[in-house]
Chain A
Amino acid sequence: MKLSSKLKWLFGKNSDLYPMNMPSGMWFWAARRITGVIVALYLFAHLYILSTFWSGTSAWGGMMDVMTSDLFVFLDFLLLGAVIAHAVTGIAVVFFDFGVGVRKHKLVYWVLVAIGVLLVIGAGYGAWYLITN
């Protein structure tokens, strides 16, 4: 098989990997995995940065000058977005695993996504306020 036809077989309109053919649960699963790995790795960055407490008040102040800069506020916003995406899709998993809403799983997912969008907007407002003030 030629490479182009192989790619068409893998990602073409008749393939399960063609974006419009993917069940929404598959997208939520992928989003949960990717954000989960990002947040898990962030935990160690968080511990490392907080360890600056051991170096005293002035070292902490210097670290916080960097961490409250516009760039890091924006990065924090992205991180919080990842946490929210992970949380809302994860809540759905907990519901389904304990038998709640299984027969209406798409509705459950989209209600949770709507809540997640509202939370991201709230987080965005906070980040915007910190950057502009």
Chain B
Amino acid sequence: MMNNPGKKKGTWAWLLQRITAVLILVFLGIHIYLTHFANLDIELLDWNNVEERVQALPILIVDYGLLITAIFHGLNGLRMVAFDFILTNGRRRAIDVFLWILGIASIFWGLAIFGPFLGF
């Protein structure tokens, strides 16, 4: 029997993993196309090209949306892998705390990355 005194079923983690998966499909498709495939003859990652893209609101929404969904999906996925090997409740809780802190810090880190283009 799995050590699970909290009787947590993980429904939200399961559902959000699927929702973020579908969102990432859209966001990442747009992101990779615009940053790598839109024009193979110019350097799409030059400072000025990045600045132009980031300052367009729809693209900024895609990139920030991708940041949040990808961090969640990635860390929740690592949590699934970890929980296949780590079964005791205390250790699982420690992983949860660690991943929440890492995830929130990473999202703030990612939001700040475009600061030079957005004036903060």
Contacts and interface: CB of A to CB of B under 8 A. Distances in A.
Given A40-B74, A43-B74, A44-B106, A57 B21 contact: no
B107 to A, nearest CB: 10
A129 B40 contact: yes
A126 B33 CA distance: 11
B75 A64 contact: no
Contacts of A133: 40-41
Chain A contact-residue range equals 20 to 34
A124 B29 CA distance: 16
A76 B45 CA distance: 14
A51 B75 contact: no
Contacts, number: 67
Contact of A64 (B22, B45, B77, B113): B45
B65 interface: no
B46 A54 contact: no
B59 interface: no
A79 B49 CA distance: 23
A100 to B, nearest CB: 12
Contact of A43 (B25, B71, B114, B115): B71
A57 B81 CA distance: 39
Given A37-B77, A130-B40, 10 more contacts: A44-B106, A53-B114, A54-B113, A57-B47, A64-B43, A68-B43, A83-B28, A87-B28, A91-B21, A91-B25
